[in-house]
Structure 1
Amino acid sequence: MLAEQHKALLQDALNGACAIVAGKPVTVAWQKPRDTAHGDYATPIAMQLARQLKRPPRDIADEILRELSLPDCIESANVAGSGYINICLKKSAKTAVIGEIFRLGAAYGRSSAQNETIILEFVSANPTGPLHVGHGRAAAFGDSLANILTFAGYEVRREYYLNDTGRQAAILAASVWLRFWLQHEKNDSEMPQGSYRGDYLQIIVTDVAEHLTAQTPPELSKLLKSLADAADADAAADKLVAAMHDSVSCAEVDTFTSAVVQAVTTKNIRKDLEALGVKPFDRWFSEKSLHTDDKLRVGIEALRNASADNLYEQDGALWFRATAFGDDKDRVLRRANGQFTYFAADIAYHHDKLTRSVTAGHRLQLINVLGADHHGYVPRLCAAVTALGHAANAIETRLIQFVALMEEGKRLKMSTRAGEFIPLTTLVDKVGCDAARYFYVSRKNDQHLDFDLQLAVEKSGSNPVYYAQYAHARADSILRKWGGTPTVLTSADASLLADDAAAVMLCEQLAAFPGVVAHAARERVTHLLTVFIQDLATAMHNYYEKTRILSGTEDDLMRSRLALVDAARQVLASALGLLGVSAPTRM
């Protein structure tokens, strides 16, 4: 990219000057001045050399400048403060970004291959009902991060871990089973404590009814009283599951549970993700397959094979010595009753991921996107990965903080068991997919998010997504009014804009795009893109308001101005697209 070329030339020049001053090659550190009046780049290299040379930093900086041969793209270099060296690019070097954007088109900002394959697991909500607004944040973040990483040159595999076995799946199946019989027997009793109660269950009941029609109805009055008398919701849930098992054979229960989970996954989760614009997952990994395909045993044996000290038996249970790898306590893998824990399944799952084949020459990296309530789970998972013989940084975790959806000062609970959650589709229907996604990723993922419904639907500059999309629509409108062929603009002389402060400011924003994408990919964040988009939209609106772009008679200057508008339109579309947000041409 042009900005990197400028920086490389400057780097070489400064390396040479510093080597003369210090007597040996020196690594130059770069910073971006907060105040653009101080220049485009700054380096504290003189302060770094002060201790070694035992001289005042400002004297060292002055000597570096005397030895410095400025490349053609640099306008000036000066010493400021206690010894910072500030560098200013020529304005013509800044406007040259327009030509680069025309040359690369939609590929502008894209990086070359990073030789790294990333398995990115996100959402992975229990298949017990529709996704709620909290899941939506994880979905928007994970999908946007996958887009950014792919654009930055990484090979990304999107994965959803489907919890299709275990206690929650059993409670869901039992809830559907009970609801079916309540309807079949025309019993209008409320769903009891411990069960899933949402209206979404009706669709699931309809889908799986064929599995139950030949079964014998339970004694509903007796069962409902037993559930009502249970000590708490968990005890009631266990009684409900037991009642289903008493009524249906084990083989049929397994088939029925699978059918219920499949129906929820298809009718709720997949449709909810599609409504939010989430791209299809490359793999839906079945937790059940860990048991049926013997992967759970293989994962535990891998721990044992890595070191005999990793596992030990105590009180009839099998333990993982997690404290040897930084965890606060050892963890049970197999209980005394022979049942494996969820953690054992997670170890097997991550062992499976870490042993998958990747593109030749690629390093494998795992990234898990988890809810903030799973923060305590991270150390034990890292301990397991390390115990399996992998580097501690082979797995990264990005935590998603909670979302508060506020309307008229009221906050609703999100309990899928009680059916009192706010469905993701309700949010998307209310504010639209674009606003939902943009607001979801507008704050850093590990910060709480207050989702302002009123602001999200407001058609004004106060609404950040409207403001950004309007900048793109405005650029497109200008080009439509002009009516020319875009290829005409490829030969426009961008240097004609060098004396236009608003144009140069817009070019500076455009030049920042590749660096922002690369930074966001390295840090595994998305909010840097929304910050960039807002700055770019501001620069575009500012340029429009201060410049008469369509000046009547078409000349070289007008074509240069149009080329800048078209470049801004392209970069806005690319940046919005990385976040899964559309770039409308009319608003």
Structure 2
Amino acid sequence: MYFKIKSEAQEALKKAVNQLDCEFEDEIKLEFPPNPELGDLASTVSFQLAKHLRKAPNLIAPELVEKTELPEIFEKVEATGPYVNFFINHDIFAKQLLDSVNEDYGQLDKVYEKIILEHTSANPNGPLHIGHIRNSILGDSLRRLLTMAGREVDTQYYVNDMGRQLAMIVFGMEELGLKLEDQPSEKIDHKVGELYFKVNQILKEDDSLSDVVDATIRKYEGGPSELDEKFEYAVNSCLEGVKETLKRMNIIHDAFVWEGQFVRTGIVDKITQELYEIGYARKEDVLYLDLTEYDIDKHLVLRRADGTSLYSTRDIAYHIYKCKKCDKVLDIFGSDHKLAAKQVSIALEILEVTEPNDDKMEVIFYEFITLPEGSMSTRRGVFISVDELMDEAVSRAKEEITSRRPDLDEATIDEIAEDIGIGAIRYYIARLSPEKHITFKWDEALSFERGCASIQYAHARACKLLKKAQEKNGIDLDNIVVEDNWSLDDIEKELVKLIAKFPSLIEDSANIKRVHPVAQYCQDLAGAFNRFYKAEQVIGSDVENARLILVEKARITLRNALDILGVNAPEMM
């Protein structure tokens, strides 16, 4: 709706500008004023015109106001200093808005841009742990946001099947007689992690066994052998458990791309040879990429002394693969990957896959997430897995729901607790910009007053109110009409304006590729709805239809906003 009124305000200002004696073809800018007393939309066009008219902006604004023919949707337009401020006629605006909000509200028109978004991509040597979860949540939430903003998004998990860690697992099974089924955990990815931990301990005690692991890597990378089945078994076993974890967290990838394919098809050899022939790759004990002319002192090693490739080499091949299949490559990496990402980016420029300073590739770096000391422990004392994090969150949520709603049966409590627990993790991580470090605090994450649960509770409240109206009065929301005498008060105006901002929020957030503004919007919308819920009579009021429709549209908007964050909106709490 704000797209529409922005367009009308821009058109009215454009006609007013045309009446001034100047040539002006720039886009007329509009923004939301920081204070609602200054209007609903404000334009800085006077600043843009100042150089053309050779006049101070505060003198231009009154002239524009005088010449502006006001569209019906606006109540008035005023000049406040250099700003031109538009005030919406909320009675007209609200009715038009409520008519425009449907089940898909927020879905923008198709943008012809295909994005390959890589996220998570954890090594297949154990379960996902707390160090991975921010990557997964940022990546999946971005996928949802960009899809709602009209982009075509393909999410990929890059599987490191040729790394040393996996070779250690295969070595453990082949040479040490360790078996996954003998490990104590029930979940398969945890069994893989336990086996890897045991092999790691054995290698620490006997350095000579490292040579056997190195030989295992060379044999697997060298081509088809009897090891292939063992490597695939280890990888697929771990991924089976990882996929279960991601699914519970409401995360699904479109594709799992194995890095081994880039070695087996000869692409890695072709790339290293090309870099050597054009003079950027140097060979001493190892083959490395010399990037000193790009002000990077650390060399990018392409091949070890024994001829095997490194993750970085295969990563270059993978990024070439992605660049050929989309308009934009988007990666989610931890902040410790900044140097590696820069090296890969420069390698692609050298190979002329990308152009310098173009926007074909973009990386979103995030800081890490930790738990306060002593707030949670693991059975093994090695790391905190995402499975344990989810179990703990759901358990705490269940305890809270049980104390608040002793009338509910256990199955219902379990379902609600799952929504609240998983939602708490996703929301708590998504609410901060990726550049900020997160310390995960349970009392904040699971707060029914401030956390995600408070937002989910607003949705449940709306559902309860609508159900009550349907049961009491047989209300059919699809066939009721807003009363002619509905004149909005300040609380209703606040809620209507927030609902109206949702599509423009999606566009703005997608353009900067950040999801934390959506999380803040959810909190703001839930707060506005709760104020409306407490202050206004709905059922039995003179404008019952209008307020019921407003409740329904707020519910839809809140549900769709939460869905961008991968958070379920329960109908009961």
Same topology, TM > 0.5: yes
In structure 2, do the counterparts of structure 1 residues 202 and 66 end up closer, same or farther at CA, with 3 Å as the change threshold? closer
User: How far 1:85 moved relative to its partner?
Assistant: 1.6
Normalized against structure 2, the TM-score is what? 0.84
Classify the secondary structure of the residue corresponding to 1:284: strand
Q: How far 1:100 moved relative to its partner?
A: 3.2
State the secondary structure of the residue aligned to 1:110. coil
For 2:10 and 2:426, the matched residues in 1 are separated by: 39
Stretches of structure 2 that go unaligned for 5 or more consecutive residues are 394-420
Pair 1:398 & 2:364 matched = yes
Quote the residue 2:433 is aligned against. 444
After superposition, the C-alpha distances for 1:506-536 in whole angstroms (9 at most, x for unaligned) are 1001001101111121111111111001110
Does the CA-based 8 Å contact 1:22-1:49 persist in structure 2? no
Say which of 245, 257, 260 aligns to 2:231.
257
Partner of 1:5: 4
Deviation of 1:457 (Å): 3.3
Partner of 1:426: 388
**TM-aligned CA distance change 1:286 to 1:344, over 3 Å:** same
Aligned partner letter, 2:310? T
Q: 1:530 & 1:56 partners in 2: Cα distance?
A: 40
Determine whether 1:366 maps to 2:329: yes
Deviation at 1:437, TM superposition (A): 1.2
Report what 2:416 is aligned to.
none
- CA-to-aligned-CA distance 1:171-191 (integer Å, 9 cap, x gap): 23334557745999x9xxxxx
State the Cα distance separating 1:96 from its structure 2 match. Answer: 2.7
- Classify 1:123/1:488 alpha carbon distance in 2 versus 1 (closer, same or farther; 3 Å): closer
SS in 1 for 2:364: strand
Among residues 250, 255, 260, which one is paired with 1:277 in the alignment? 250
CA shift, 1:161, in A, is 0.1
Q: What letter corresponds to residue 150 of structure 1 in structure 2?
A: T
Greater CA drift, 528-537 or 167-176: 167-176
Give distance in 2, aligned partners of 1:179 and 1:163: 23
The verdict on how the C-alpha distance between 1:329 and 1:545 changes in structure 2, with shifts beyond 3 A counting, is: same
Alpha-carbon RMSD: 3.5
Q: 1:435: how far off?
A: 1.3
Any residues of structure 2 matched to 1:332-351 within 5 Å, and which? Answer: 332-351=301-320
Report SS of the residue matched to 1:376.
helix
- Structure 1 CA distance for aligned equivalents of residues 391 and 558 of structure 2: 25
Q: Verify the 8 A CA contact 1:98 1:567 in the aligned structure 2.
A: no
2:567 is the counterpart of 1:581: yes
- SS of the residue corresponding to residue 125 of structure 1 reads coil
State the 1:106 CA deviation.
Answer: 1.8
Quote how far apart the aligned CAs of 1:407 are.
5.8
Alignment of 1:13-412 (within 5 A): 13-25=12-24, 26-81=26-81, 83-102=82-101, 105-176=102-173, 180-181=177-178, 200=185, 203=188, 227=203, 235=207, 238=210, 241=213, 251-266=225-240, 268-279=241-252, 281-300=253-272, 309=278, 311-315=280-284, 318-320=287-289, 322-323=291-292, 327=296, 331-356=300-325, 364-387=327-350, 388-391=352-355, 392-406=358-372, 408=374
Task: Provide the rounded CA distance (Å) in 1 between the counterparts of 2:347 and 2:200.
Answer: 43
Is residue 2:436 matched to residue 1:470? no
Q: How does 1:511-526 map to 2 (within 5 A)?
A: 511-526=500-515
Return 5+ residue gaps in structure 1 as ranges.
187-197, 209-219, 359-363
Instruction: Please tell me the residue identity of whatever aligns with 1:508.
Output: K
Secondary structure, aligned partner of 1:72: coil
- Paired residue for 1:564? 550
Label 1:119 to 1:538 Cα distance change in 2 as closer, same or farther (>3 A): same
Q: Kindly tell me: are residues 318 and 544 of structure 1, through their superposed partners in 2, closer, same or farther at Cα, counting changes over 3 Å?
A: same
Distance 1:487 1:302 in 2: 68
Q: Distance in 2 between matches of 1:226 and 1:101?
A: 65
Deviates more, 1:523-532 or 1:49-58: 49-58
Aligned length: 534
Secondary structure of the residue aligned to 1:445 is coil
Superposed CA offset, 1:360-399 (max 9, x none): xxxx111001112112222212212323332431111011
Q: Distance in 2 between matches of 1:523 and 1:530?
A: 15
| Residue-by-residue CA offset, 1:426-462 (whole Å, 9 max, x unaligned) | 111111212111112111122111111233334x213
Q: Is the 8 A contact 2:135 2:332 kept in 1?
A: yes
Amino acid across the alignment from 1:480: K
Say if 1:96 and 1:494, in contact at 8 Å, map to a contact too. Answer: no
The amino acid across from 2:464 in the alignment is S
